[in-house]
Structure formats: structure tokens, C-alpha cells
Amino acid sequence: MEKMTQKNHTPRFLWILFLCFFFPVLCPGCLVAPPHESLQHSCGPYPDNYVAIVEDYLREYLDHPDSIKDFEVIKKPEIVILDTRYPTIRLHKGFEVWEFFIAYDAKNDKGNYVGRDLHVAWIRHNRLVAFDYKDLDLEYRVKERIENPGY
């Protein structure tokens, strides 16, 4: 009789364990969905204000943003399909990005001009997502999200 009681209690114990540990872990993942745009393969509408977007980023990123000279758009935004995944940027193979090239010269932290160089920028859904194939600073991303909540 005692053995029977023990057998009946075991599944209930497992359910309690599941509710106590697994449910609180899985629940936030179901309720708090990631931003809609990051899951889409498409890159959104043509970014008309792409120069303003990248200038805004350079103001945050450069040591001497006022020192920018010889700024030029080398290639206007064109859709590019990614050939690999970028884990740090959270982009996957097959995703589309608006890719454009800019060139400029600016002063480094020591106050010297480093020489004019070409840079690659990617925009998705009117948001700068990568610069020179690298992830953007967290500080900029937070600021940008606050100013432009998007989806």
C-alpha cells in the first residue's frame, strides 16, 4: 500500500519541479518576443536618410567628429544578401541589408588625421546595424533605440 502511494506521488513531484524551474525560464522567452525587424529576411524600405543615419553614428563613434573632411558617398544603398551569418550583429545567412560605402578622413584620439579611408555600412529598416562588418557600440544602439523605437 505504501509503495502504491509513493508511485502516485512521483509524477506530481516532477510536474511541480517543471513548474518551479522550467516554466519561469521558458515563459519570458515566449512572452517577450524579439524585435520584429530582426527576424525578417527583408531589409525594409530604401533608407532615404542614410547619410543622416551614418553621420549620427559617426558623431558617437569618432574621437573628433568635427574633424571629418572629404566625406563622400562612394556607393549608394543597394540590397545585398548576406553570404554568411554574423553572430555578433545577429544577422543570418540569406538576410538582406542595404549596403552603402562612404569615404572620409578624420582625426584619431591623438589629434592626427589618419588618412581618407573607405567604410562599409549596413542599414536594415532605417536602422544602422553594422559598420565595417562590425557590431555597433551598445551605447549607440541603446540611444538609437530610444530615439527610434521602430517596431
Partner 1 sequence: MIARIMRSFLILWMIICLSGCSSVLTYYAPLKSKMVDGEKRIGERRSYEYSSSSGHSNKIYFEKKPLCGESVMKMRYAQKELRCFSCALFELIFYGLGLFDMLTAYTIVEDSKKIEPLAEYDTGKLVVCGPVEPAADEVVVINNPKTGMQRIATTDSSGVIDLDQILSDLKDTAFLKIHLKSDPGRTFDYFYKPTRQASYSHKRE
Q: Give the residues lining the site for partner 1 (CB under 8 A).
A: 70, 72, 74-75, 83-87, 93, 101, 103, 105, 115-120, 132-133
Q: Identify which of residues 51 and 150 has a Cβ nearer to partner 1 in the complex.
A: 51
CB of 51 to partner 1, least distance (A): 16
Non-local CB neighbours of 42 within 8 Å, separated by 6+ positions: 96
Q: Are the C-beta atoms of residues 104 and 69 closer than 8 Å to each other?
A: yes
Of 42 and 88, nearer to partner 1 (C-beta) is 88
**CA–CA dist 141, 86 (Å, integer):** 17
Q: Give the rounded distance of the alpha carbon of 38 from its chain centre.
A: 8
Nearer to partner 1, 62 or 120 (CB): 120
Count the residues in the chain: 151
Q: At closest approach, how far in Å is the CB of 7 from partner 1? A: 35
104 bridge partner residues: 117
Least Å from the CB of residue 120 to partner 1:
7
DSSP 113: B
The least distance separating partner 1 from the CB of residue 145, rounded to whole angstroms, comes to 25
For partner 1, the closer CB: 22 or 133: 133
In the bound state with partner 1, the residue whose beta carbon lies nearer, of 43 and 89, is: 89
Evaluate whether 75 touches 123 at the Cβ level (below 8 Å): no
Least separation in angstroms between CB 132 and partner 1: 6
Angle at 72 between CA 50 and CA 133, to 5 degrees: 60
